[in-house]
Structure 1
Amino acid sequence: MRTLTSAGSTLRTKRWGGSLVALLVAMVASITLTAPSTAATPATVTGRLVTDAGVPVDAMSAVLVQSGLPVDEFTTGTDGTFELSVPAGDYIFTGSDNFNTYSFISKPLTLADGESRALGDIEVFESGFTSPNARLVGHVYDPAGKPARGIQVLARTNTPLQGDSVVGGFAVTDRNGRYVVDTDGSSGPPVPGTYKLVFSDRFVVPETFNWGGRYSGDQPTWARASTVTIGGTLQTVPDVTVTRNGGISGSITGTVPMTNGTITVYDLDGEQVATKTGAAGAYAITTLRPGSYFVRFSSPDPAPGGGSPFVRSFWPGASSLAGATPVVVKANQFTAGVNQVLSNQLTAFRKPTISGRALVGSTLIASPGAWSLTAGTEYTYEWLRGITVVGTAPSYRPTAADVGKALSVRVTARLLDRSGVATSLPTAAVKRVSTVTARAAYRSARKQLVLTIRVAVPGLANPGGTVTVKEGSRLVKARVAVRNGTAVVVISRPRAGRHGYGLSYSGTPTVLADTGSVVASVPRR
């Protein structure tokens, strides 16, 4: 049978339930049908299934039946429309609801070669029938309070993993989130006894994200679930709330050609909760409950060209769970952009770093960074002034030749036949160190206090820059030029007593700023 599509329809399937077959066989038993035409041009039947309020109904099957067998079937999408295509002949137009909520009245149709029959809007109705075998009734909702349709409800004595689990009742929620346990899941009525209810997605229609599981008493685990008793009368069970799963999406690629990739997902306790292996490139995992997860990327590919195999990595770039960043997953949506590029060589997940101050005579220390493999990995260092290598040890003391230039360190990591290279961010431009000293002299004849400030910079006679003088928070002199290492500040008619002055040297692009102080005594007149 052909697969048809229609504008706005989101679902097209060929499905047939045993109960519907029995119903249709009974309906057509007394009807004489004309044999199908051998003409090549099929007839088409179109229409739309709607509620009494005119709302389109999705996930209902519109079917043309002949001689008790379906000839064509169309499952409506969100717009409620259907399109059926069959040879000319006599048919019964009927249908069924995948969620066992709606029905509509079947009708006979006689179709000619090439005919296009438009049935228009066909109103569906709720049957409202409750079986006399019904023993449990309840509702399932989503966190927003909307009905959760298509949720399977099983009454079990224990979990399947515990073995010898007895299923005493079965139901599936309808479009209103309502379920009625009126069967044992096979051919009999519910079995009396004490059970726990397991709620899970029945996968009635394809969805990007399925419903997560839940247990009676609206509990997240079997151990915490409350018990229910199936007896001889109908009982109402407390409501349960289910949440749709979410997912992650992205890509897995390699620095050299990769055929297959594996994505493994762990919860925050480090327990594996999902894995997916497939062709390298784009991927999507849709089965994660809302929460935070770690993601591991690997490849089962053999070593490319006989070299080293790919090195696994945790997102966004870590060699272990300890260094990984959690991915937050929300209900009914993807967390996109969870990408990873794998290499068959060593990769620096965190660049090398430099600690210390970029000053002449000071010591800079290199850290190798964080690499994709660490056990047994050896590191070598190259200190760079621009592109010039100026040192090869894990530490380096800048010299006068480095003044005004930034330094970086390049680290080469090696492990057997694997290697990798990474370079740190540059330091600030290297500067010379300055020292500020001063002496004070009072000239009684002129009633002046003279501060002679010296800025000493090793290897530099005239460092330049300016000096600012304050007494407490009061500004005395600002930006006095330093010439040949000296700045002179004259304070006229200072008041008698002891004075403490703070000295601030501005520094220059190649000389570090510094501070100092001086104390002066002014005699009484």
Structure 2
Amino acid sequence: MDNKFTLLSRQRCRWAAGTTLAVVAAGSPLMVANAAYAAGTGIVNVHVTAGTGAPLSGQSVTLYSTATGSPVQTAHTTDGSGDTSFTGLDAGGYTAKVAASASFREEYTPVVVIDGDGDVEYASASLLAVGITQGRLTGTVAKPGNRLDAEVRIFPSTATNASIASGEVGPVAYAGAYDYDYDYNDVAEDDWSTKLPAGSYKVLVGDDRSGDTVCHGDFYDGYCDGWEEHTQQVWVGSGASNDADHAGVVTVTAGQSTGTAKVTFPGTVTPTAPTRVGGTVTGAGGATLADVRVRLFQQQEDLSWNQITSDWTGSDGTFSFSTIYDYATETETPLPAGVYTVSFDDSRDEYGDEFYDDKATDYPYSPPEGVTTLTLGATGSQTANAALAQVALDKSSGLNGKVTDDIGVGHAGEISVYDTYGNRVLDWSTRRDGTWSIPATQLAPGSYKVRAYDDVDISSWLGSTAYSLATTFKVPVKGTATTGNSNLKRWGSIGGTLSFAATAGTDTSESWITLYDADGERVDSTEATSNGSYTFGHQRPGTYYVGATGWRYSSFDESDLQVSRVEYIKQFWKAKFTLATATPIAVGSGGKVTGVNIALGRTLKAIALPSIVKPSSVVVGTILKSKVGTWNVRTGVTYKYEWRRGTVVVGRASSYKTVKADKGKTLTLRVIASDSSGRFLTGNATSAGVKVS
């Protein structure tokens, strides 16, 4: 919103000498008043509006001459259109002052210049409101399915079917609600919010993800643009009528949030084609196997086979075929009736390849003679479960080992083998328990270094974190070499909360939480969630420091500079204010450190108290000097001093010479710290006492 005053386009109109009346706009009579103040025929027309652009009536306007600095006529009052006119003006410069009121601040218009008799000038003032003028309108949109992409349009409360259709009334604000869940059994849902001037409104919510259009007929012509995809829309509060005429009116109050009724669309859940061929793949002990490639073959008219699609088993070992891709139409179509078979290919080579009905094969890419088949009719399905046979791990040659974490738990992962010149030789997949063996047919005799990876631990060279210090393994011409367990370190995490000391007039916070390593280098940064919590996940074992900064402001602040914004003092965990003094946080392998909570404040505080510099014996006439101590902010801080005898202030300089009245008394030094930039609040601290002998 632009609340700054603006000058309307200057227009000049020459009138015949002696003319004393002019028409400003059609239907608006020119107000002639107080002609006794000036003898000329110039005219200044003043238009007064609120920051929203609405004309303001009843505003007191006084015209000043820039030559004298004094009023040229008595104050005028704006009419129902926000207009008033000053006539009978001599040549010269003029500015109009709109007086302050309970609702608006005082405002001057830019200077306009009357060039001579008959000149007409126009000035405009857009008044800044006193206090907060905007409120917030909120709501929630939901839809069954995996995707929500809704648009919210806010109309004036005067909106009707007819006024919208004619284009006379349109939206005054917009908002959006988006959720991409991709869980077809869930509900996509999101909140929306927008700031509006205080007033009354109607709310229209449209679902933006459908194939048809609602822009048919005359009713929607006035606001069809941008809504071509909406097949579902709701006028909030309109009931079964679902139109603007019957929509509920919601009132927005300045400085407050107003909620609207939740809108739940029926939704358009993407249909899932029924499974035609599916099953579960198991291995040793009946354990379900993930990462098994399943290929679907269809028999052709000439009895040959054609692979038409493939799938990977999920974590539960299941697979499913429902459709095939039709390249001619570029669409997915249901599996047709026919004769099929499937093959199973373990990506980790832990289990032997098979065709359906547990038929072992060395070549899962083409069905052999006599393969067991599955016949599909026009409807129905077939189940093709598989129980794969585990292949013994051959450790008779080459190099072998196991990918584990540092507590000995094995994990499926990958191995990268490098020669001693730093060249990558090969990559190898482990079994699901982390064991691996590379035969001599794949890895020639020689010296190698190995790097291990898995999905849950920190990848590392075996024997060290660096290649240059990693263990060298020698693969013999005869026999085998073993690396043993990889003992990968596990990721750790650091978490806590960030809070702010209360500041009147603010309702919104921003934060920046930073993680530093033992060398003081920034490792990561994040923001606190709406409830103040934060987490740094996937951190290597080591020593860390956490520091935070933050700001608060009023979400209703309408100023260009966001003058309500206040800054909080940077702080490290356990109320430390520099990285050098910050409390270290030790994260072990797999460690989850919680409770790293930081409470930010705005008040200057002494982290080392002020002190009095004195000789070994203090008597009457001794000069005492001050040390301000150490404060939580150092740059831009100024200090004042109060030397006190009990509660009585006896000096305000940086030093103090004791007097007779101090004899036998205890003196203290109170230091008052102030931020010269005004960002932080003034604080004070008092030294230990010194007794005067």
Which residues in structure 2 correspond to 1:397-408 (within 5 Å)?
Answer: none
- 1:221 partner letter: A
Residues 413 and 138 of structure 1, relative CA distance in 2, 3 Å threshold: same
- Residue from 581, 591, 595 that aligns with 1:337: 595
- Find the aligned partners of 1:235 and 1:254 in 2 and give their Cα distance: 62
Residues 81 and 73 of structure 1, relative CA distance in 2, 3 Å threshold: closer
How far is 1:167 from its partner?
1.0
State percent identity of aligned pairs.
21
Structure 1: gaps (5+ residues):
7-38, 159-164, 204-209, 356-360, 398-406, 431-525
Residues 118 and 314 of structure 1, relative CA distance in 2, 3 Å threshold: farther
Which residues in structure 2 correspond to 1:132-147 (within 5 Å)?
Answer: 135-147=398-410
- 1:168 partner letter: V
- Find the aligned partners of 2:183 and 2:577 in 1 and give their Cα distance: 49
How far is 1:211 from its partner?
1.6
How far is 1:328 from its partner?
2.2
Q: Does 1:276 align with 2:525?
A: yes
CA RMSD, 1 decimal: 5.7
- 2:541 partner letter: P
Aligned position for 1:221:
466
- Find the aligned partners of 2:568 and 2:344 in 1 and give their Cα distance: 53
- SS of the equivalent of 1:322 reads helix
- SS of the equivalent of 2:452 reads strand
How far is 1:75 from its partner?
1.5
Contact persistence 1:50–1:57 (CA under 8 A): yes
Aligned position for 2:296:
65
Residues 193 and 40 of structure 1, relative CA distance in 2, 3 Å threshold: closer
Residues 73 and 248 of structure 1, relative CA distance in 2, 3 Å threshold: same
Which residues in structure 2 correspond to 1:237-276 (within 5 Å)?
Answer: 237-239=482-484, 240-251=486-497, 257-259=508-510, 261-267=512-518, 269-272=519-522, 274-276=523-525
TM normalised by structure 2 equals: 0.41
Contact persistence 1:154–1:170 (CA under 8 A): yes
Residues 131 and 379 of structure 1, relative CA distance in 2, 3 Å threshold: same
- Find the aligned partners of 2:296 and 2:536 in 1 and give their Cα distance: 39
- Find the aligned partners of 1:94 and 1:409 in 2 and give their Cα distance: 85
- SS of the equivalent of 2:580 reads helix
Matched residue pairs, number? 367
- Which string of whole-angstrom CA distances, capped at 9 and with x for unpartnered residues, describes residues 223-270 of structure 1? 332323456555313323222121112355666745563523212x43
Q: Does 1:296 align with 2:552?
A: no
- Find the aligned partners of 1:392 and 1:111 in 2 and give their Cα distance: 101
- Find the aligned partners of 1:85 and 1:339 in 2 and give their Cα distance: 51
- Find the aligned partners of 1:181 and 1:304 in 2 and give their Cα distance: 65
Residues 370 and 336 of structure 1, relative CA distance in 2, 3 Å threshold: farther
Contact persistence 2:610–2:630 (CA under 8 A): no
TM normalised by structure 1 equals: 0.51
- Find the aligned partners of 2:412 and 2:290 in 1 and give their Cα distance: 11
- Find the aligned partners of 1:127 and 1:253 in 2 and give their Cα distance: 57
Which residues in structure 2 correspond to 1:345-384 (within 5 Å)?
Answer: 345=602, 348=605, 350=607, 371-380=631-640
How far is 1:181 from its partner?
3.7
- Residue from 108, 128, 139 that aligns with 2:392: 128
- Find the aligned partners of 2:521 and 2:627 in 1 and give their Cα distance: 32
- SS of the equivalent of 1:418 reads coil
- Find the aligned partners of 1:293 and 1:101 in 2 and give their Cα distance: 41
Q: Does 1:196 align with 2:444?
A: no
- SS of the equivalent of 1:212 reads coil
Contact persistence 2:552–2:567 (CA under 8 A): yes
- SS of the equivalent of 2:427 reads strand
- 2:296 partner letter: V
Q: Does 1:313 align with 2:564?
A: no
Aligned position for 1:17:
none
Which residues in structure 2 correspond to 1:47-58 (within 5 Å)?
Answer: 49-54=281-286, 56-57=287-288
Contact persistence 1:243–1:331 (CA under 8 A): yes
Aligned position for 1:101:
350
Aligned position for 1:82:
318
- Find the aligned partners of 1:220 and 1:5 in 2 and give their Cα distance: 44
Residues 275 and 51 of structure 1, relative CA distance in 2, 3 Å threshold: same
Residues 389 and 323 of structure 1, relative CA distance in 2, 3 Å threshold: farther
- Find the aligned partners of 2:436 and 2:275 in 1 and give their Cα distance: 39
- Find the aligned partners of 2:643 and 2:384 in 1 and give their Cα distance: 81
- 2:402 partner letter: H
- Find the aligned partners of 1:117 and 1:367 in 2 and give their Cα distance: 87
Contact persistence 1:352–1:422 (CA under 8 A): no
- Find the aligned partners of 1:98 and 1:380 in 2 and give their Cα distance: 74
Residues 230 and 354 of structure 1, relative CA distance in 2, 3 Å threshold: same
Contact persistence 2:292–2:346 (CA under 8 A): yes
- Find the aligned partners of 1:211 and 1:40 in 2 and give their Cα distance: 36
Which residues in structure 2 correspond to 1:146-225 (within 5 Å)?
Answer: 146-157=409-420, 165-181=422-438, 189-190=442-443, 193-201=446-454, 203=455, 210-216=456-462, 218-225=463-470
Structure 2: gaps (5+ residues):
1-145, 147-181, 186-270, 298-305, 324-333, 357-372, 554-560, 613-618, 659-667
- Find the aligned partners of 1:390 and 1:412 in 2 and give their Cα distance: 17
How far is 1:324 from its partner?
0.8
- 1:249 partner letter: G
